[in-house]
Structure 1
């Protein structure tokens, strides 16, 4: 991975770490920021902490890896992001959680998934060698 794409992936991984750490430290704040403060329960806070652990692990796994391992981490992150986005969109369609909240979170995870897909495409393209 080169230049701008690698930098974008590192920024995304850092974002995972920050968001995950916030979820672990202040799950109630995550509930409020997601726009579902009226649905705050101990069970929801527990699930948010689970999300937080996963986000920190994905972000640090990527940031602390060598280039070969980062390739694998990109694929793992892409799988998680696609699953999260699909789940969020399903909630938007069903309307069983506030649509704005589900759509907002799906937009965030969809952005991560889009970045992952672009990185995958960039990996598959042969590197251009400058003319001599």
Structure 2
């Protein structure tokens, strides 16, 4: 029991857990025609797509009952969702203890673009890295 509790504290979304990235939550990129891009990937590579892209599910090695997801999404070229970044991609990182991580990022002088928002599928905030890449941080609920 202690071992599984320890694993949950290291990998789960517990507010007392070490604030850190635990995996990739999504890969977002520009496409001239997102609908055609999704259809091409479905037809040629077998992705099960919907209007947002495709979701890949996997199990957490340290907590096999936990199912993680990675969202793959083409966005219309020049989408403002990536702003203020000028890059053609954005990575969503899955994190544990988002509130603690935000505190650490502020202490380290990291540019935080917006305020944390909570939805039925998790908490989100956006930051900029040292290279000007917008990063989405996501703590699943």
Alignment TM class, shorter chain as reference: under 0.3
Bigger strand share: 2
TM norm structure 1? 0.23
